[in-house]
Structure 1
Amino acid sequence: MESDSGSIKSSGGTWGVVVTLSLVVLWYARLYLYRRPNSNSRLPTGPRGLPLVGNLLSLHPDLHSYFAGLAHTYGPIYKLRLGTKLAVVITSPSLAREVLRDHDVIFANRDIPAAGRAATYGGADIAWRPYGAEWRMLRRVCVVNMLSKATLDSVQDLRRKQVRKMVGFFYGRVGSRVNVGEQIFLNTMHVVTDMLWGGTVQEEAAGEGREFREVISELTGLLGKPNVSDFYPGLARFDLQGVVKQMDGIVKRFDEIFERVIDQRLRMMKEGIKEKEGSTDFLSFLLRLKDEGDSKTPLTIIHIKALFMDMITAGTDTSSNTIEFAISEVMNKPEVLEKINQELEAVVGKENIVEESHIHKLPYLYAVMKETLRLHPVVPLLIPHCPSETCTVGGYTIPKGSQIFVNVWAIHRDSSSWENPLEFDPTRFLDSEWDYTGNDFRYFPFGSGRRICAGIAMAERMVMHALATLLHSFDWKMPQGEELDLSEKFGIVLKKKMPLVAIPTPRLSDPALYI
């Protein structure tokens, strides 16, 4: 559900509206009027809804904060009727543990929207694929092969090259207003696409970052757009709002790019063209795995393209938004920025540039990143889970097929778990063992259990390297007369409502360090 969405409007003329309403009424009658509830079931309480639409019309665009407000009235677990779908919202660490740890296998499936299915080749990716042998194979490919420490180390030079290009861009605009968030996004996108295929594919096939930038916002917007097909699955075949049709058009543009880079790589392999020495990328690993993989659950070209889609859509927005929020927060806290600068000067020095080898020696900056992810978790409601069978959570019956939202944004701001929860205070992470493993359900920005994010190691490297570099290389200030805005815009991925526009000033003594 997207933050700037209004009420849902079906397309077509008067006849289309009549047909649509008739179908909805028939669906509602069959589902509700002729189905007797199980007398033994005890559903969570929740706000009263209207016939046909349930609670759809009362939803607020900022769902994360709206859901947090409802929890104050209805408790840490409550239900909503979204058309014919039953949604359950979880807003406490103990209940999150029940869903993501105690009943992990039952809740390991996703509630995939029609747009998500269209975007990922029928749900052939790791984010939306139902739990099972094929998903386990994809997870293994990502964690053990594609995103392992050895593989990430092997593409370190590709990441370094793009970060230096970003520094050069900002250096060329010293003293001027710069849309910092936009440039961080572009850098992150180039880093991701370079890691996917840019190391060995010829330059004209690898430089697709500009085209991706134009369509990613369209794609993520459609993923979050309220869609009649999701609230009334019986109507999905009609695609009344044209969401799937629009998504098919976007995916076609991505697919053309994927086909080009894959075909070129296969041609290079067939002709015996060797990769540059010391240079590799994820496409190389994936094509080898495709040829050498398990015959019972093989990795296919469709899987590779679906994984590419995951990496591009999830790997760009999430990392770039975290960096943008972090820079904004420290600009708003001079005492925090001063401590960061002291640490960077002690570890890196003003005569050197930041390298990835430095980032594990920067505990205070790590704490800044963790605090940023506490206040602004990248996926505030996680990706909705869907129980494969009816079960009990918190003493309530959760029916099979329900849509489960875990409000990690609200849990991270719970005053019973955090002192001064709305205050940006990195020191709370200095003297503790907080991590991203999802073992402590007071802090789990990347989820927990089987469906925990597979790209944590990559995100950590990308965010820390870029954040350390930008703060080490430049001082940042707001244009005269403008105030820093830290407000959020809800979406599948949380963003700043207003992009960060700031003026860079060099901090390093030698201009050659900016080349």
Structure 2
Amino acid sequence: MLNLLQLLGQHEILLISCPLFFTLLVIFLIRPTGGRKLNLPPSPAKLPIIGNLHKLGRYPHRSLYVLAQRFGPLMLLRFGNVPVLVVSSADAACEIKKTHDLTFINGPKFSVAKKLLYDYKDVASAPYGEYWRQMRSICVLNLLSNKMVKSYRAIREEETALAMACIKRYCSSGLLVNLTELFSATTNNVICRIALGRKYNEDTNKFKKLLSEFLELLGTPSIGDYLPWLAWLSHVNGFNARADKVAKEFDEFLDGVIEEHLNRRNGDGNDQKDFVDVLLEIQKQDSVGFPIERNSIKAIILDVFSAGTDTTFTVLEWAMTELLRHPKAIKELQNEARKVAGGKSSISEDDLHNMHYLKAVIKETLRLHPPIPTLLPRVSTKDVKINGYDIAEGTLVIINAWAIGRDPSTWEKPEEFLPDRFLNNPIDFKGQHFELIPFGSGRRICPGILLAMHINELLLANLVHKFDWSLPGGASEKDLDMTECTGLTIHKSSPLIAIANQCPF
């Protein structure tokens, strides 16, 4: 969205000098407004042509939150030609994601998603229907079900142990620990081993850069999606070229993964099957009622690789950031971890169900820092009434989970990090409590919640169990940079760097 505003600014002279601009402006100002009187949600003032695009800043979730303070939890904006309903309360989100879930089941057809996600063949962006149901079912049954997640326990514990050993080496050498890099590498290794069959350590830095650009592009729809007559600007400013380059590089990597699995499958067949093997087997058997194309397999792998890595390590990064800012909270978590461990050198997954404060820390982190603050947008498939307001077919819907997590009518001291609020509190993030929906809700809820939480809990528990943590250079908690990056997934803009001191056992 930021790119849209930058585009408008960069091409202001061109627009003003264009006769077509004045023609469209006149049409916009004099067009008739016949038809029945609609009861529309409150709206801020808008400009001709661009609508409310000028209201968005560098961080749309924050800008929309400020606007919602004035115009309410259901607010109607206009981004160019597109009406946009912004939802900023738990009650309103329930109306969208539960009462009218089927009406808002599909996402928008953004041009950059078409390029990057193989013409919407992944699970996240595929239109609701038989293809989506079958692909989601394949992912859940063969990768994300409770049974399958439990079967990967050894991989999670091995990678967590390797991460702890890495930190220990830093301690011995007196070096600072780049926790952002550690979280990214560890989650990437877990996901690659589970889904792709092996780690890709030789490509770690390449993947990190490529994934970052991939998610930034997905979070920045082309201006042509809102103003079709200006779609050519995405060619002029290089946006389309960037998207084509990232799509090509990911496609080459995914082709390599598939070829590697095909060659291995044609070998002795003794290797254990991973998720890619399962997808190729289903393709060969043609067992879902329609042919699965190679691009469908690549799109599903890309979904798992990008979502599984990025949103997972984002939660770890913000959780550890908040703990370093709140010494009492990290001490409380350490005490719980060391009590549960009972003198053992590490915490296993068997110990996690006794770590109630750990779970509260993660919930509080998700409340304040949902990985995708405005969730994935949806589009109304028909005219519908929401809380008495008329919402037209084709309206883009943005649910601001970041704003819902800071709603003072729901949360006491909403801007403060207070994990204790979730002790003896039934509110969870699994889609049933709309006060906390960082992973969405309804039929299109993120299916990877269970796997992500197993990774997050195990890694965070061992971090505080094995080491004492502090900020470098004698910095105080108030000095910690909390600036966010831009893109689909919101990370810290600067890496989280800390000092680790190993605890004797």
CA–CA distance in structure 2, aligned partners of residues 84 and 13 of structure 1:
18
Deviation at 1:367, TM superposition (A): 0.9
CA–CA distance in structure 1, aligned partners of residues 244 and 30 of structure 2:
36
Q: Which residue of 2 aligns with 1:468?
A: 461
CA–CA distance in structure 2, aligned partners of residues 146 and 377 of structure 1:
23
Q: Which residue of 2 aligns with 1:52?
A: 49
Identity %: 32
Deviation at 1:338, TM superposition (A): 2.0
Q: Which one of 378, 385, 393 corresponds to residue 386 of structure 2?
A: 393
Q: Which residue of 2 aligns with 1:186?
A: 185
Q: Which one of 96, 101, 116 corresponds to residue 98 of structure 2?
A: 101
* RMSD value, Cα: 2.6
What secondary structure is seen at the aligned counterpart in 2 of 1:68?
helix
* Correspondence 1:485-504 to 2 at 5 A: 485-504=481-500
Closer, same or farther: CA 194–41 of 1 in aligned 2, 3 Å = same
More deviation, 99-108/155-164: 155-164
Closer, same or farther: CA 22–304 of 1 in aligned 2, 3 Å = farther
* Correspondence 1:39-438 to 2 at 5 A: 39-174=36-171, 175-199=174-198, 207-225=202-220, 227-236=222-231, 239-240=234-235, 241-275=237-271, 279-438=272-431
Q: Deviations over 1:299-336 (max 9, x none)?
A: 33212211121122222221111111111212222222
Q: Which residue of 1 aligns with 2:441?
A: 448
Closer, same or farther: CA 328–441 of 1 in aligned 2, 3 Å = same
CA–CA distance in structure 2, aligned partners of residues 445 and 390 of structure 1:
27
In the alignment, structure 2 segments of 5+ residues that lack a partner are none
Q: Any conservation in 2 of the 1:374–1:412 contact (CA below 8 Å)?
A: yes
What secondary structure is seen at the aligned counterpart in 1 of 2:102?
coil
Closer, same or farther: CA 209–158 of 1 in aligned 2, 3 Å = farther
Q: Deviations over 1:215-271 (max 9, x none)?
A: 111111222235311211354477434323311211211111111121121122223
Q: Any conservation in 2 of the 1:190–1:209 contact (CA below 8 Å)?
A: no
Q: Deviations over 1:93-136 (max 9, x none)?
A: 11111111111001001123221221100111111111111111
Higher helix share: 2
Matching residue's letter, 2:392: P
Deviation at 1:161, TM superposition (A): 2.8
CA–CA distance in structure 1, aligned partners of residues 10 and 286 of structure 2:
46
Q: Any conservation in 2 of the 1:155–1:280 contact (CA below 8 Å)?
A: no
CA–CA distance in structure 2, aligned partners of residues 459 and 230 of structure 1:
32
Q: Deviations over 1:487-507 (max 9, x none)?
A: 434532122233211111112
Q: Which residue of 2 aligns with 1:512?
A: none
CA–CA distance in structure 1, aligned partners of residues 329 and 417 of structure 2:
9
More deviation, 174-183/489-498: 489-498
Closer, same or farther: CA 194–125 of 1 in aligned 2, 3 Å = same
Q: Which residue of 2 aligns with 1:7?
A: 6
Deviation at 1:366, TM superposition (A): 0.8
What secondary structure is seen at the aligned counterpart in 2 of 1:400?
coil
Q: Any conservation in 2 of the 1:146–1:285 contact (CA below 8 Å)?
A: no
Q: Any conservation in 2 of the 1:115–1:243 contact (CA below 8 Å)?
A: no
CA–CA distance in structure 1, aligned partners of residues 238 and 29 of structure 2:
27
Closer, same or farther: CA 132–242 of 1 in aligned 2, 3 Å = farther
CA–CA distance in structure 1, aligned partners of residues 302 and 22 of structure 2:
37
What secondary structure is seen at the aligned counterpart in 1 of 2:397?
strand
Deviation at 1:420, TM superposition (A): 1.6
What secondary structure is seen at the aligned counterpart in 2 of 1:105?
helix
More deviation, 83-92/36-45: 36-45
CA–CA distance in structure 2, aligned partners of residues 399 and 75 of structure 1:
19
Give the TM-score taking structure 2 as reference length: 0.91
CA–CA distance in structure 2, aligned partners of residues 116 and 98 of structure 1:
27
